[in-house]
Amino acid sequence: MQCDSCGAALPVEARFCLSCGTRVEQAAPDTTVDPVLEALRAAIGFQYRIERLLGRGGMGAVYLAHEFALDRDVAIKVLPPEHAGTSEVRERFKREARTAARLSHSNIVPLHTFGEVSGLLYFVMGYVAGESLAARLHRLGPMDSEATRALLAPICDALDYAHRRNIVHRDLKPDNILINADSGAPLLTDFGIAKAMRADAQLTTAGQLIGTPHYMSPEQALGRADVGPPSDLYSLGIVAYEMLSGRRPFEAATPLEALTERLRRDAKPVNAVAAGIDPDLASAIARCLQREPVNRWPDAKSLREALLPSEEEAEDSLQWRMLRIWVTMLLLLLLASGHLAIFAALHPGSEAFRRVRGMTAGPVVMIAVLIVAAAIWLRVSGIPAGDIARKALQQPRWWRSWYPRWLRRRGDVWDRLPRPVRHFRVCLGVCQISIPVIIMPQYLALVWSRSNAALWLLPAIFFVLALMFATRRRALKHVAAASGANAEEASKIVSTATWRVSLWRRPAFTSVLRGRPGTASPADGGFTRDADATRPEVDVTHRAATATRTDLDATRGFDR
């Protein structure tokens, strides 16, 4: 060190120049030195190259490192020495490592190893090159319905996996959902306060608040010890609400006020806060945010099916399937009964039409009673009446013809089908309805009355069938010319259900659709995205800025 006035050499500890007496200004202390980082480098630097700090949280600091042996980037979470002396904190940190070690899922950040060196407790986990959901929402703002579905569904898969292993996360929030920059896949992290539901010992007791206040479920806010999987679904509902609207359902000046609000009132529907949200998605989120756990989704798998139905699996519970079958039977019987009533009025002297119509009265009453009973059962389960009605009348899986837009399944491509294909499907629908509802009852009544007019119905049946086959042939020719498909592939395209999204994304299927993906809005039942468009966008330049961030709301009095 030298004197600024005379240039004389001075010892480091000098306060005045020994030659000229000038006061020596001491350099400001280096605040950039990270003692934990230096201690970590000294302890495990032979195995890992510790590069930089990624984030700090209530349960430690996370550093980016490179593992020499396997030539890969990892994230190392360290318990700071000032906390390591507390037995409860040490045990909770170890429990986080044990919990993460039990979970091996593509949408959960993996744990590689755990260790304790020179008084430092640490564990090594997978490094997610990307950004947190919180950073993405801050950077890009609210997401649309399809992107929200695509991001939430894998998180539901991860939660279902954890819940089936009796692990509840208890701190779901955007900061703890990481988005991989390369694949766009979301990964769940930070099981620092996760609860093993069947653990022999609990580190938390009733009345102790653990979690992030703005994302807590009502039972968490009350400090109850029996917090289970429904609590995670409530927190995920808040995350989904924020993804769609850019705001949380309970905005408050203080965390305590936020907790009080969710105990006093229900959240405002998300589609009342933000426009353009699919009704079924808004309904799924509203069910997540029910104050009573029993009124929420029974499990994460059920919520995932509501967000992105799996076409290969049974789509509903038994009561839902029976309700849909009964509603379909009731509608067909009512159409048949109305048709017979018209013919009975046109033929006042014939008793046959009245008798056949009378045969439908008993089944109509019985099925109506079953429908009411099933609807009451579902309503008692906490499902809104509007959702029950919409689901009961939703487009059947076997139906291939036109259907009202507001009752179509999500992703339906009817409006984009070429005209020849739609003509064939309309003829098919006419056959499916007219033969059992109009022709067969009328034929039965005419035979009962021994009328020769029954013979004239047979040509009508053949005419309808011939028209259907003619329009099908025309549709096959159009599809083959548009896509270059062979006869078998063209037949599959012509007859595939319009809501089978995974099939309509294939090149051969997409080539016959009119317009570009995105020309029809979801409200119109249009197909809005291609295979790549459902992947959440990630800015690669923001790789890992908050990749393993474990922040807790800085709120005094809330234990981590």
Residues labelled catalytic: 171
The Cα–Cα gap between 246 and 91 comes to 37
Q: Angle, to 10 degrees, between the axis of helix 419-434 and the axis of helix 487-495?
A: 60
Distance CA(83)–CA(93), nearest Å, equals 10
Asked if 46 contacts 57 with a C-beta cutoff of 8 angstroms, the reply is no
Q: Tell me if 391 sits within 8 A of 360, measured CB to CB.
A: no
> Which pairs count as long-range contacts for 268-272, CB under 8 Å and 24+ apart, including other chains?
270/240, 270/241, 270/244, 270/245
Judged by DSSP in three states, 428 sits in helix
Neighbour tally for 411: CB within 10 Å: 21
The alpha carbon torsion through 127, 133, 138, 142 (nearest 10 deg) reads 150
Helix (H, G, I), strand (E, B) or coil at 49: strand
**Chain centroid to CA 449: how far?**
58
- Planar angle of CA 81, 85, 90, nearest 5 degrees: 90
End-to-end CA distance of the chain: 46
Q: Indicate the DSSP class of residue 542.
A: G
CB distance 270 to 143 below 8 Å: no
Beta strand segments in 25-129, E: 48-57, 60-67, 72-79, 111-117, 120-126
Burial 443-452 (b: 16+ CB within 10 A, else e): bbbbeebeee
Q: Are 481 and 418 in contact (CB under 8 A)?
A: no
Task: Reduce the DSSP state of residue 355 to 3 states and report it.
Answer: helix
What's the 3-state SS for 289-308? CCCCHHHCCCCHHHHHHHHC
Q: How far is CA 186 from CA 135, 154, 158, 361, in A?
A: 13, 7, 10, 54
Round to whole Å and give the CA distance between 176 and 211: 12
- In this structure, the dihedral spanned by the alpha carbons of residues 351, 354, 357 and 363, taken in order and rounded to 10 degrees, is -100
Rounded CA-CA distance 516/510 in Å is 9
Give the residue among 153, 144, 193, 146 at the shortest CA–CA distance from 171.
193
H or E, element range at 180: strand 177-180
Distance CA 530, CA 512 (A): 14
Residue 279 backbone dihedrals phi, psi, to 5 degrees:
-60, -40
State the DSSP H helix or E strand holding residue 136, giving kind and residue range, or none if neither. Answer: helix 133-140
Report the SS3 class of residue 188.
strand
